Structure 1
């Protein structure tokens, strides 16, 4: 068995949980890292702890089959169960579509291995329609929403916590119908007619979902953690975090390790997860917002990402150590890094930004001060990168340069899309 991040030998942390978080704007390769973890060690379950149907974690198998994991855990190809914790915004319709694609790839029983916390919020067709209507109305000031209704679901739940539809409601058709009707009426009063199906059709679909998957209570997460080990699979990236990201170009989700820490504490197991941060050898961003190192000439091949109606362009910047230091600061640090896309080194002129024209470290403020975050965003939009001496065009030089810039060991390198393209590096683990 290959060694796992955070250990000093092949099986030293086989019983330890691993939490995987993207230290950029997303799209760094969380899916392929989770796939590798599940291929090379025993894993009780993959626990999703934020985001929802807008996640897009691409996994490619050695035989060429590929799937974009949104709500299923990226260990599904290896038979690892998925648990959607209460921090996930669950979209039953999108989950069904994803299951259909997995069945076409030879995984017909994916839904049999899913458990869902009944307290999780439900993303409905009405949330999605409202999300898209708001984003269209912003015109040139779009935030880069994925258009899946995740933020709308969170916003509605904050405004109407007692009547926001939740997964457990799918077991009670009358309650579900009442809450969906109320939701649709409120959104229609605010936005006008919504392009969404009748409530009766949604109730039929959602109650069918409740009959097909196991809906569990909060104690299930504790049982999984005590049976362990589990892999916590994060969505989006820390630089998009709802509290610490660069407002307003953020997600309605806690993308740090905060939810992981909460789940572990509730199970009486605080601090029992190795924190693994994922980064690319370049810094991509989907849609608008700050990308200080953006370089229009940087056009590496990108099979799974591109321009789309809701997020806009898929943009590329050089490795931004300043932004990634900020991500480390707001998360409280990581134990190790996974560095992906090392196969691009040598084929493209990749550079490493070690400072901006005004700082080499961004200030961290208290969570929730969105005015402060918006001011930081404005400053970033006017910032200019300063580049360190370019690393030599080989993977080892890039690993050393990233470790030096961030002060964290790279424990896993990725030189291609499959688990077979990953290399575990056996170096002494650094403490947080």
Structure 2
């Protein structure tokens, strides 16, 4: 059985550490054959800490790499060859032998280039105090350019032929320069050399690869960002140019002839966080002092790392937006017992229009609706509280009840050894087999 891992918040809930645990060898369990990335690009920042103290922030490589699990970058990924090379060097320095040998890339995946990144930063600077909180890595520019010029957008497969790649890179540079002025980016020939070298060192595959991969054994689909940042369902304009729900993974499974053949695992912290501007109704700056972050902080382009109490209203909206989850992975269960944390859960908001205890979902496509929702949430304040206390099991139970899904994994620290996988009726067992109650109604 395959597993789809999605963050039910604004990102940073711990997808990387959850995937790392799922990929770690377990007695009696079938080994994970691959980690499949299905959205976003090099802006992902999935932190993994090994039991021997090594730390890596996974961006494009899957978070099962320390266990030797291969990564497949699907056609839905935005691939940045320069960032990928840097990441591979860091993994090699941490003792991963030949990281690029663990990687396959779909030829259809779009390329993120220095021109996209430079344009992204130019637009964000121009917004001044109205910044959206971009990572500054060109992900939105890559997606927007591919929508506007689908035939001219460079792909991973283009890296095998210099002539068409040069034409596409030149067109890209010239169009973005015409729109934004001179870009702080290298010449086309320098990019060309780097991208063709990328093609020489990785394995490019076609659409037949993923179906074969999924037949070999269980795979883990690793999502990026969080549902509350989704391009259509997030709180516009503080969103990502990416579908952050399970939809991309489900699409890939259907294309491979295996629709609905996976466990949908939603990841949440015991408190709600976000990077940069946008709604965070339960924000409490005092929590930053009680719950310091080892691997998250202020970003030059994203902005400040912000912390709040668990927002059951927003996370329930995320679950409903996804069409339900089969189980939860709860991270930071050690946090409620930390001195000074006083963590709580908010179950309703007070708004100028009255009490709000449920954010209604809607079909994708109406960004003006999402912007009106954002404006309402920016003025909302928590109104109804629950205090599970310091007991992590009380928190696990409260989160399961709030989000109407059983807890499959509990995390009490950064390493795989700090995780507990539980056998829960209606979800999966430690061996990863689906029980007869698995096909439940969406939450």
Is TM > 0.5 for Structure 1 vs Structure 2?
yes
1:64 alignment partner, SS class: coil
Q: Which residue does 2:16 correspond to in 1?
A: 31
- Is contact 2:347–2:386 with CA below 8 Å preserved after alignment? no
- Provide the rounded CA distance (Å) in 2 between the counterparts of 1:107 and 1:346: 35
Matches within 5 A, 1:389-428: 389-428=386-425
CA deviations 1:205-253 (Å, max 9, x no partner) are: 0000001000111111111112121000000000000010000000000
Q: 1:198 aligns with which of 176, 179, 187?
A: 187
State whether residues 331 and 412 of structure 2, in contact with CA within 8 Å, keep that contact through their aligned partners in structure 1.
yes
1:164 lines up with 2:153 in the alignment: yes
1:425 is displaced (CA, Å) by 1.9
Q: Pick one of 307, 310, 317 that aligns with 2:308.
A: 317
Structure 1 position 406, deviation (Å): 1.4
2:347 matches 1:354: yes
Q: Distance in 1 between matches of 2:333 and 2:68?
A: 28
* 1:266 alignment partner in structure 2: 255
Q: Is the 8 A contact 2:275 2:306 kept in 1?
A: yes
Unaligned stretches of 5+ residues in structure 2: 428-439
Q: Distance in 1 between matches of 2:223 and 2:386?
A: 33
* Distance in 1 separating the partners of 2:328 and 2:384: 21
Displacement of 1:424: 1.4
Give the counterpart of 1:182 among 168, 171, 175. 171
Note the alpha carbon deviations across 1:61-112, whole angstroms, 9 max, x for none.
0111100000000000000000000111000000000001001100131100
**Paired position in structure 1 for 2:320:** 329
> C-alpha distance in 2, partners of 1:379/1:253?
23
Offset at residue 386 of structure 1 (A) = 2.1
Aligned to 2:297: 306
Question: Could you tell me whether the CA contact under 8 Å between 1:21 and 1:235 is conserved in 2?
Answer: yes
Cα displacement (A) at 1:387:
3.5
Offset of residue 388 of structure 1: 2.6
1:132 aligned residue (114, 121, 136): 121
Looking at structure 2, the residues matched to 145 and 371 of structure 1 have their Cα atoms a distance apart, in angstroms, of: 20
Corresponding position of 2:430:
none
Q: 1:49 aligns with which of 29, 34, 38?
A: 38
Structure 1: segments with no counterpart, 5+ residues: 1-15
Match of 2:96 in 1: 107
Superposition deviation, residue 60 in structure 1: 0.1
Q: Could you tell me whether the CA contact under 8 Å between 2:6 and 2:266 is conserved in 1?
A: yes
Match of 1:13 in 2: none
Let me know the Cα RMSD of the aligned residues. 0.8
More displaced 10-residue stretch of structure 1: 402-411 or 308-317: 402-411
Count of equivalent residues? 417
Aligned-partner Cα distance in 2 for 1:67–1:168: 28
**Distance in 2 separating the partners of 1:122 and 1:147:** 15
- Secondary structure of 1:250's counterpart equals coil
Find the partner of 1:76 among 52, 60, 65: 65
Instruction: Name the SS of the counterpart of 1:71 in structure 2.
Output: coil
Q: Secondary structure at the match of 1:342?
A: coil
Q: Find the partner of 2:214 among 209, 214, 225.
A: 225
2:378 pairs with 1:381: yes
Give the Cα separation in 1 of the matches to 2:119 and 2:378.
Answer: 29
SS of equivalent to 2:287: coil
Q: Report runs of 4+ in structure 1 exceeding 4 Å deviation.
A: none
Q: Distance in 2 between matches of 1:392 and 1:121?
A: 47
Is the 8 Å Cα contact of residues 351 and 387 (structure 1) preserved in structure 2?
A: no
Pairwise mapping of residues 2-13 of structure 1 onto structure 2 (< 5 A)? none
Contact 1:365 1:372 in 2 (8 A): no
Work out the CA distance in 2 between the residues paired with 1:229 and 1:119. 24
The 2-side partners of 1:76 and 1:145 are apart by: 27
Q: CA deviation at 1:355?
A: 1.2
